Structure 1
């Protein structure tokens, strides 16, 4: 899973992810937006479900994050609504709306995001 951090014209930190993981970047850009307490919450949830069969989810404004001991799934909230309205035989998948990754990979992105903010400062 490849990613990069950059600043937009307003100074806001943006995350750009590799193909198949775009929704992870959108989650950071739309839900996190320098909110390190949300990242603390996710990291605590990872520790909480470790060694168990429990799952955890956090519904955000635009994206919902689900995780269990091994995997993280990020799905656009709009995608859930579109699925319900699909005609039979129609299959919808949008890489920008749904991403899966391993918990360890996701934690590495969180750590890199924190480091980028610490190194380059956070605005906004």
Structure 2
């Protein structure tokens, strides 16, 4: 998963991720932004899942739903959830695909992304 972090014209942190992971960039930029408290909570939740202290975690932001489980991290645009149920989105026969609305990656890769985001914000 390739990414680039930068500050926009209004000096807000932004993330741009590689194809198939664009939704993570929008989630980082818009929902998480520079919220250090939420970022620390997310990293702690991931650690708890990896260590088996928690089976899963879910957080509904302004624009995205973040779902974490032992294997994966997933962001889904709330707009998609208004149009489809979660069961529809999990159906592999669903023809709908929009990389800016939904993305998945491994949980440890997602943790690494969050740590890189934290380091970027602390620079």
TM-score, normalised to structure 2, is 0.86
- Aligned pair 1:97/2:105, yes or no? no
Matches within 5 A, 1:24-103: 24-52=24-52, 54-83=55-84, 91-103=95-107
Of 14-23 and 43-52, the range deviating more from structure 2: 43-52
**For the aligned residues, what is the CA RMSD?**
1.9
Give the C-alpha shift of residue 51 in structure 1: 4.3
- Go from structure 1 to structure 2 and tell me whether the alpha carbon gap of 1:116 and 1:90 turns closer, same or farther (over 3 Å shift): closer
Q: 5+ unaligned residues in a row in structure 2: which ranges?
A: none
Number of corresponding residues: 116
SS of the equivalent of 2:44 reads helix
SS of the equivalent of 1:106 reads helix
Give the C-alpha shift of residue 61 in structure 1: 1.0
Q: Which has the higher contact order (CA 8 A, sep 6+)?
A: 1
Q: Match of 2:4?
A: 4
Give the C-alpha shift of residue 50 in structure 1: 2.1
Q: 1:83 touches 1:92 (CA, 8 Å); kept in 2? A: no
Larger Rg: 1
Q: 5+ unaligned residues in a row in structure 1: which ranges?
A: 120-124
